[in-house]
């Protein structure tokens, strides 16, 4: 497969400069309204289901044109309005200081705000999402990160993280841990030809033990289930900046399908930043209903929840292709699902030595 032309990705510091400028401009508008004796208002893109649209051209969810107005003149809205401004001010100070804070830290910091504390972290997280949607930025651009790091990557990749050069083949048995601030990490050298992202960490460690990164000239990425935003951003950068094709290996069940599709086409919840996260050209290599039959895999019976979820996926525009419609229908007919580890029936190394080479069209 020919390499894609590399795309320049803006470093995180540039995104933070843009964020700082946008926060400053918003503050000036609020001050101007107050000076001219007008109740300040904010236009915030609606993230309701009815305003989330699947963009057929780009192949991911985006926000539609609808906006909501939050006004300081409304008794019902004034507290949220004030909390929004306090959150913006908190983010501005983080950017200016070059520091980061976790979402949890911000939630507790709000206990000391004049605007009043949040009732729970879910409420503060929603305000941060309002900020992201309003400015079309990621929370990391605003100096805010989740508690946990992303997943791990193993393979021929060297990066510069905060002035420290790290070799992903020498960063310990688990590989290089993808940080929340992945856009601050510089890719120095990459000799891999592809990325294979794996749903479960158990199978990720199997791939590392079997040296799949050498066999497939690949970066092996462990997703840890539903991929964190930092992991998805890493995959996006590896595809766009390094020109690497992305392959996704997940369980053969509706939730494994969903994990892969969130990487491919983004999620409805993050429609406002899917352009920063989605990898529409990523290819699914996971366990299919056809694999269950062809490889005579050990299976589990579909639960009612699985059946309902599969029927939902059939109506989801992201799955509106011949491949997905056929495989989902076949799984419903079988009434069975299978995990990645089911290939262990043929030996621990079978999935690396036989299954993946066949899927990738490589010699085993």
Residues marked active site are found at 108
Instruction: State how far the alpha carbon of 55 is from the alpha carbons of 59, 141, 272, 321, in Å.
Output: 5, 24, 12, 15
Residue 176 near residue 231, CB atoms below 8 Å? no
Task: State how far the Cα of 30 lies from the Cα of 39, in Å rounded to an integer.
Answer: 9
Beta strands in 192-319 (DSSP E): 194-198, 218-222, 246-249, 283-284, 300-301
Look at strands 246-249 and 283-284 and give their pairing.
parallel
Q: Find tokens 């200081």 and name the residue.
A: 97
Tokens of 38: 């007008």
Measured between alpha carbons, how far is 237 from 156 in angstroms, rounded to an integer? 16
Contacts of 188 (CB under 8 A, 6+ apart): 158, 159, 160, 165
Give the Cα separation of 38 and 183 in Å (integer).
39
Measured CA to CA, the distance from residue 362 to residue 350 in angstroms comes to: 14
């Amino acid at each position: 497969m020919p390499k894609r032309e590399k795309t320049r990705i803006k470093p995180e510091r540039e995104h933070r400069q843009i964020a700082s400028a946008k926060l400053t401009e918003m503050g000036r508008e609020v001050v101007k309204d107050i000076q001219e004796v007008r109740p300040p208002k904010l236009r915030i893109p609606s993230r309701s289901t009815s305003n989330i649209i699947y963009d057929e051209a780009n192949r991911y969810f985006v926000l539609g044109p609808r906006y909501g107005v939050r006004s300081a003149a409304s008794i019902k809205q004034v507290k949220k309005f004030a909390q929004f401004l306090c959150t913006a001010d908190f983010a501005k100070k983080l950017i200016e200081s070059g520091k980061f804070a976790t979402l949890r830290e911000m939630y507790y910091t709000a206990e000391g705000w004049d605007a009043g504390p949040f009732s729970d972290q879910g409420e503060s997280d929603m305000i941060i999402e309002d900020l992201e949607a309003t400015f079309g930025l990621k929370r990391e651009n605003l100096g805010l990160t989740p508690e946990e790091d992303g997943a791990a990557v193993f393979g021929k990749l060297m990066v510069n993280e905060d002035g420290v050069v790290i070799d992903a083949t020498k960063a310990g048995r688990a590989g290089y841990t993808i940080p929340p601030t992945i856009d601050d990490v510089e890719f120095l050298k990459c000799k891999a030809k592809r990325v294979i992202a794996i749903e479960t960490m158990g199978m990720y460690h199997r791939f590392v033990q079997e040296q799949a990164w050498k066999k497939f000239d690949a970066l092996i990425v462990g997703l840890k289930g539903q991929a964190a935003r930092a992991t998805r951003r890493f995959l996006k950068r590896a595809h766009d900046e390094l020109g690497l094709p992305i392959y996704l290996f997940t369980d053969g069940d509706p939730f494994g399908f969903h994990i892969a599709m969130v990487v491919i086409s983004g999620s409805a919840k993050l429609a406002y930043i899917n352009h920063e996260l989605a990898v529409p050209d990523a290819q699914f290599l996971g366990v299919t209903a056809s694999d269950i039959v062809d490889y005579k895999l050990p299976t589990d019976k579909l639960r009612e929840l699985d059946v309902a979820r599969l029927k939902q996926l059939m109506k989801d525009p992201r799955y509106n292709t011949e491949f997905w419609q056929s495989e989902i229908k076949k799984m419903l007919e079988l009434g069975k699902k299978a995990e990645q580890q089911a290939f262990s029936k043929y030996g621990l190394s079978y999935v690396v030595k036989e299954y993946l080479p066949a899927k990738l069209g490589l010699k085993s």
